[in-house]
Amino acid sequence: MELAARGLLFDMDGVLVSSAASAERAWAVWAAEYGVDFEAVLAVMHGRRSQDTAARFLPAERVAEAVARIDKIELDDAAGVPEVPGAGALLRSLPRSVWAVVTSAPVELAHTRIRAAGLPDPPKLVTAADVTRGKPAPDPYLAGAQALGLAASDTIVFEDAEPGVASGHAAGARVVGVGPHALSADVVVPDLLRVTYANGMLRMSSH
């Protein structure tokens, strides 16, 4: 399949780095410390900012402290996080003017996971602190497109989680789902091994 696009916007966790196991370990520790049902956390944590997840389970006056705590736990568990297959090769093949990373993670965790996976530092990075509303609101991908000097409709978003797919669509972008959990994306691929981009054309195969 081929899609024309002037810019590519990549979610990080589950799209560029395989961090689900690390994140789930961290949130399990956090849930135990704060007396929260981990299964309930697990049902909503993927693809969302930590402050949005914490706010679902704790009173407002405890959220800032709880977010600082989960950020530290996740950082302590970030070493050795691998890349999603094909991510490094794809990113290194791209002109740096055409891509950005748009993540719900805080900036330090984003840089730590990207470097742990051996990926190139992104030319543009939108993190949890850069938007008022996180995914599934359109704000993150609108900010990512703006960072590239493009309209969101001129970009393709890569996402692995439904909040991110909804965010990309709400911004007006087309969305490529990566992995098994982004079923409402416009097209879904298992990983980035069969994805290439050249001369404004994204080419991908699910086989």
Q: Tell me which of 11, 71, 77, 160 is the catalytic residue.
A: 11
Q: Tell me which of 13, 52, 71, 77 is the catalytic residue.
A: 13
Catalytic residue list contains 77: no
Catalytic residue list contains 13: yes
Asked whether the bond before 136 is cis by omega within 30 degrees of 0, the reply is: yes
E strand spans, 90-200: 99-102, 125-126, 155-159, 174-178, 187-189, 195-198
For the chain, how long is the longest CA-to-CA vector? 52
Query: Using H for helix, E for strand and C for coil, what is the string for 15-39?
Result: CCECCHHHHHHHHHHHHHHHCCCHH
Catalytic center residues: 11, 13
